[in-house]
Structure 1
């Protein structure tokens, strides 16, 4: 069972995939939390239908696309989402500007997007900056 302050679909999807008993936020009341722990110890699954639907939707709509990028492409994309230029990204990652351009081109192709702005907005919208 996971207790978190961050009720984000990306974390929820990872927790479901990992096979944990449940995903609770720190907003849960004291007695509800104690009861959830008891249920988890008994082997019960604590996920609600809504949580499972959110996790499945995130995995299908966002997760597969995000995981389809290489580690380096994800690094470049998070910097693009922070409005960094190719030169700034190149310096931060110790690669050439030309390589940054290739990564950006590959990212846009894989995400089926046409602009850096669109890709950056997608990252922010789906709260992928902190991954």
Structure 2
């Protein structure tokens, strides 16, 4: 059975290289390539691919927002994030957002193909996010974003990117009051008092793109 894949990455050479590599595999077919999150959503609704392979950092719409909008319309969509970010916070944020897998761009072609097959089969495919504590024991990393709802995480990343509440409302198709309420709730949950503090937190946690 052929696994139909849609790829979204604004780095053209990277996207085309991955596409060519996947198309050379007997059981994988790249049916569309997208440059950003807006194009990706349209493509997913049109083609209903078996696996969505997408980057986090894309123009016009971030990966996190794209995931939310895709799952709102295709709840069963199988999303595999292909990213350059190896920080635990990114992995956990994408897992919490509803992605089925996460793989680094530095991974081998074989690893990527294996991840696509696992996600297509309904399996979860994430790197190990456990860290050693002072006693050498493993402990699961808890993302600072774990206390936020999916919509609040979208707003968090948009605030971290320097967007105003008005711009966030436009990007997420919500009222200004709703955007400001989400922003206020984020500050309360994370014990922050300003966007500057949020940006500092995001930077320390490796969440700034």
TM class by smaller structure: 0.5 to 0.7
Q: 1:13, 1:56 within 8 Å by CA — same for their partners in 2?
A: no
Pairing partner for 1:106 from 181, 185, 188:
185
Higher relative contact order (CA 8 A, sep 6+): 1
Q: Name the structure 1 match of 2:39.
A: none
Q: Name the structure 1 match of 2:160.
A: 81
Instruction: Give TM-score, length-normalised by structure 2.
Output: 0.37
Normalized per residue, the structure richer in helix is 1
Q: 1:107 to 1:8 in 2, by over 3 A?
A: same
1:12 CA displacement: 7.3
Number of matched residues?
A: 93
1:93-113 deviation per Cα after TM superposition (whole angstroms, max 9, x unaligned): 000111111001100000011
Pair 1:128-2:207 in alignment: yes
Q: 2:166, 2:176 within 8 Å by CA — same for their partners in 1?
A: yes
Structure 2 distance, partners of 1:103, 1:69, is 10
Pair 1:116-2:195 in alignment: yes
1:5 CA displacement: 6.1
Q: 2:168, 2:179 within 8 Å by CA — same for their partners in 1?
A: yes
Q: 1:53 to 1:11 in 2, by over 3 A?
A: farther
Instruction: Give TM-score, length-normalised by structure 1.
Output: 0.56
Larger Rg belongs to: 1
Secondary structure in structure 2 of the residue aligned to 1:112: coil
Normalized per residue, the structure richer in strand is 2
